[in-house]
Amino acid sequence: MVGRLRDKVAVITGATSGIGEETARRFVAEGARVVISGRNADKGEALQRELGDRTLFRAADVSKESDIAALIDMAVERFGHLDCLFNNAGGPDRGTLTTVTEQDFDYTLRLLLGSVVFGIKHAARVMCPRALGSIINNASIAAHRTGQGGYVYSTAKAAVSHVTRLAGVELGTHGVRVNAISPGAIVTPIFWGGSARAQTLDDSKNKIKREKLERNLARATPIPRAGYPDDIAAAAVFLASDESSFINCHDLVVDGGRISMFSEKSNH
């Protein structure tokens, strides 16, 4: 059903690759106007050209509150209001339990958790006066189980899941819903070093890594296939739409059942 997001305005962070890029395409196809952001200006501008005048790209580093605030302001200035924020930007883990440094910790928490906290803060300031809005945070099944992500990454994602509940309770009285999506193992370059690493490889090498990952994930999921960015994008469309108007403080797991295959002691 096309048009589920007709006349809605959204901001999507981390939209120059993977889940964010596919979500931007889905939102526009469903009728939304979208501010897309990421660090890669070339990819962001190319995506804006592809999607047309319903989109606007702005380069942003979401570890900086000022960049997040500017994205929200741009959406309001260009499109008149803001209906949805998808706090999607992320990156690979840094450090293990025995090797993590202060720099690793600060970087990961600012990127994965700080971006969500400040995204909520600045979306709320423009959504609450209208008593309308949907904030979606990208968490992870690593927030709920061990063995699904790195040490600091998993800690940050658990905090994202809890911040979602805290913010949903506070903002729900103002008509603003806050939910999260916890993806399972989704086929994106994060599994071979992140989008920056993927850009250093030629197409054939990325294809080999992608196909190997697809085979491995299919064997480790009750639904015997890998997860793809479009699976998460579809969930984001639902949470951004009026169809989910009574869903708040919820962390929606989208993983093909993978989370149920692992005990708390699993290391796989």
169-205 pLDDT tens trace: 999 999 999 999 999 989 886 666 556 665 666 677 6
Helices (H), the chain: 18-29, 41-51, 65-79, 102-109, 115-127, 151-172, 195-198, 203-219, 229-240
Give how many domains the chain has, as a whole number.
2
What CATH number is associated with residue 244? 3.40.50.720
Which is it for the CA torsion 20, 184, 143, 238, positive or negative? positive
Say if 2 falls within a structural domain.
no
pLDDT tens, 204-251?
Answer: 766 787 788 888 888 888 999 999 999 999 999 999 999 999 999 999
Locate tokens 């660090």: which residue?
A: 39
Is 144 in the same domain as 221? no
Is 104 in the same domain as 201? no
Is 215 in the same domain as 239? no
pLDDT for the residue 265:
44
What is the arithmetic mean of pLDDT over 7-22?
96
Is 242 in the same domain as 202? no
Question: Domain limits at 165?
Answer: 9-186+229-251
CA 159 → CA 110, 202, 251, distances in Å?
A: 12, 36, 12
pLDDT for the residue 178:
98
Is 138 in the same domain as 207? no
Is 107 among the catalytic positions?
A: no
pLDDT tens, 62-72?
Answer: 999 999 999 99
Is 22 in the same domain as 96? yes
3-state SS assignment for residue 130: helix
pLDDT for the residue 136:
99
Say if 256 falls within a structural domain.
no
Residue 2 binned pLDDT confidence (cut-offs 50, 70, 90) = low
Beta pairing partners, 34: 10, 55
CA–CA distance, 198 with 211 (Å, rounded to integer)? 14
Say if 147 falls within a structural domain.
yes
> Catalytic one among 107, 151, 153, 228?
153
Is 69 in the same domain as 17? yes
CA–CA distance, 56 with 244 (Å, rounded to integer)? 26
What is the arithmetic mean of pLDDT over 59-83?
97
Say if 95 falls within a structural domain.
yes
Closest CA to 195 of 49, 58, 40: 40
Is 197 in the same domain as 143? no
Is 117 in the same domain as 106? yes
Cβ-proximal residues to 167 (8 Å cutoff; 6+ apart), any chain: 120, 124, 135, 178
